[in-house]
Structure 1
Amino acid sequence: MKASFDELPKNDVVDVLLTRDWPAGTLDVHGREVGSEAKSASSTGSPVSRALALTLAPRYHFAGSHPFFFEREPYINVKTGSSDPASAQSWVTRFINIAYCSNADGEKWMHALKIEPGSAMDRALLCKIPPDTGPNPYLGAPGQKRRAADLQPDWRDGAKKPKTDARGGNRDARDIKGDLDKTIYVRNLSWDAEEGAIAEYFAQAALERNQASFFGRDITVEMANAPSERQPRRPTPGVAPGGCWFCLSNEKDLHLVASIGSECFVSMDKGGLTHEHCQIVPVEHLPCFANVPESTATEMWNYIGALRRYAESKSHKLVIFERYLELLSKGGNHCHMNCVPVEADRAVLSEKIFKQAAKRLDFSWTKLEPPANAADAQAAIKSVAGDGEYYAVHLPDGCILIRSIERGEKHWMQLGREVISHLIKAPERANWQSCMEDEAKETERTTAFVEAFDSFDPMKQG
């Protein structure tokens, strides 16, 4: 019996879709650079696989047609043609390509999932949208047919082109045209709401998001005719701006602080990759490790050594990453070095997996030999990045991978978390917001770390 896609049940939840072929049109990855391998795969992707993904809207879509592992950020599904907004709301899809079995490059070829059947889930939970969700990449893809009704939402409450309002006056009822995944449909508008008033209302809501964090960057939202020539005020080094997450003076999440020195402190990461993921942070509002004062750098370096010894006592190795972006709109970046203990047998793959990630994103690392002390480490990083922005990874053997970030250059903000999440075989922990705990559990985690780290803490040694 032959059935078209449109005859498939509309209300059933497809949890997993398996296709051999990579679907065409998976490259519209929101907020992320994509390397040449994934670009090539999408350019030759299968329209049939794309059509299946678009029609079935699976919660997970697995393919296995290419020799590398690739995991796309989730994208939103919207059921079109429904008169009920609640039923039009749908879940997200996660596309994952699994590498070839037992490949020689160490690419991930097994992926474990613990899935609660979508048909048995509460709909609000099923349709919860993660913060890193992007638009549907298949809408508008070559060869994909869409109905005019899906592209032209009605102006008010389903009434098509009303020529008069309740008072008999003429109204501008022009159809709104555009891509479905870029169109917002607002119901129950007052008939007294002129188009200009509506635009002003939503523009003000958008302006309130100015300097909000979006995909790890502090965005700027302003009117199009606002002066563009003004230069951002460069923050004064060491001066704590209001609201900085890492400034002790702002008294945010002090229950996560595990050790305090004279010039820096150790704090548990909020939404850590592991229970012992912590950060080394200078007390003063300073931009990056390469530019902190020598005494501060020395104290931070002592903490690094202590954390390395602590990790080794538990058969782990320490992997450290630091992202330095100026973030001038927020008063400047506050240096924080992420320290993640990784099981020793996995930690040995750190350099390889970070280099594989760089290859996919079309950049390369400069590898620095293990510095003897903090001053040497600062000098080595500056030899590559100068006083500019950079990304640094301190490997378990003490070597440093460094990448200079040029002004205006795109950079994948969650690079360190994403790479290490795969290194520890927990890709679901790449997004810190999905790993957050309540304050009681955070306090319990901090207390446990303080007790375990006590004999290694350089601030408690004679």
Structure 2
Amino acid sequence: MPYKIDPLYNNNIMANKKTNRVVIGDVNGRLSEVFSKLSTLQPKQNFTFAIIAGNLFADPESASQTQDDEVSRLLSGEIEVPLTTYFALGTRKLPQSVVERLESSDGELCPNLFLLGRKVSIKTSDGFRIAAIGGSYVPGSDEPMSPYEATYTDTDAQALAKEGNDVDLLITSNWPSAVQDGSKVACPGQSPQGVQSIADLCTALKPRYHFSTSEAFYEREPFFHSGPSPRSLTRFLSLAPFGNPDKQKAMYAFTIEPSAPPPTKVPDGTTASPFFNTKKRKLDSQQDSYNNFRYANSNASDTNYRGKGGRHNNKRHQRTQLPPTPQQCFFCLSNEACETHMIGSIGTDCYVAVAKGPLTTREMYLDLGFSGHMLIIPLQHSPTVSQIPDKEAQKSTVAEVQRYRSAMHDMLASKSKDADGRSKLGAVTWEISRASGVHLHWQFLPIPVDKIQRGLVEVAFDVEAENLEYPAFVKTASQIAEAEDTGEDYLKVMIWSESLRKEMLLPIDRSFRFDLQFPRRVLAKLLELDNRMDWKACALAREEEAADADAFKEAFQSFDFSLEDE
């Protein structure tokens, strides 16, 4: 049986250290078969220990004579357990002979076979940390129970959660509530009922692996927990019964280093924790931060035009405040105050300008020759695409935005080739579409391609959204299209490299206060530019802005479709 090397935590494993483990689902009294199987595997796999995550024994109320005989043979030593094996309490009452042996031997049923119990936290001789809570969940009961009683309560789970965190393995009879939320992996058949206190326990302990059992095998994508970076990641797996007729996976073998630190590289498909509480505090107001700069790194709201008094709480005043006209909007070319020295290209429906207070700098991207941080701005004065009055103008505006993006992608790919002919840069483009905004625009930022290929951009947005208690991003094409079609506010993030395309959308509603600087903050942290989060602190002199625009024009000239008719 080949074992799986854990890509999350395979850090500096020593060749001579026994790190192979195996976990097994419900055995249901097939004792001779399971230990015979382990005896066959052990010489080759050299497992340090095995864990039986489900019911080791058949139901004593309905066990056959053969199964009763199996228990007797195990207790007498006729069935050999070939390696150190821990078995979970499971959801059934233990046979009385088993309970009597456990009570007289402090949890050791026979040589090499040990009970994990109702709630337990242990550390193996090689430093491996295991936590387990067994039995069927019983709500609302805090009566003292025998350590061999096949039930547990919320109090048991809470007590175990207080004993520590960052365990290697968590074994639970029940699934945690909501574990399938945010997952693209379907569970074969009906999913077991989840328990909230088990979800809370997983969140507290942050196990590297969380094992449970079910009628069919299920493996969720790994997910990360909240906390400082690098964040702990968990794999949740539910094993099928041993010897099941459908050949569903009942044994899971893998290798990891005991007590390894969290990984620095996040694997593809990793999601935020499904156990995060997404209930939000309702806000009385959705007004946004004051921002009166023409090329600011956010979509200005109507609060930007209230004069020196800034934001007002007086509702009557807000109702009488008119939105800015094109002659008053800093994004509109008809405004005499428009800073045209920052424009790098003008198309039929949009124009491109360098960002004011760019996040990245010319020194970071010497291959480009300019800062790289650009804005794509529709010529139409509208807060969202859907509010552009003419439907044909809506279509042509979106088409030209995408054409500019594609052209700038081609520019990045051409200008940043490495020795092997591969582009060193990808890009992230984001759009904040808000009905209360003033003039819609897209921001375009080059990003080192390795951060895109390793999935770090997507994870960075997920993590920051979780930290701020924002809703989860939607990521499938159908979900994104549905969110855009509703006409509601949203943040859309478009990630590109030569070999990867990804989109993600955050619906924005009144259940939380959205920070317009959120995308810039996320990317500043990702690029380790924390000192450049505030665009106002990065503002350039007018001469520097004009030089940056000229450098963009030179780099973009051969890709600029707006010059084709000149």
TM-score normalized by the length of structure 2: 0.40
Would you tell me which structure has more strand in proportion to its own residues? 2
TM-score normalized by the length of structure 1: 0.48
User: Which structure has the greater CA radius of gyration?
Assistant: 2
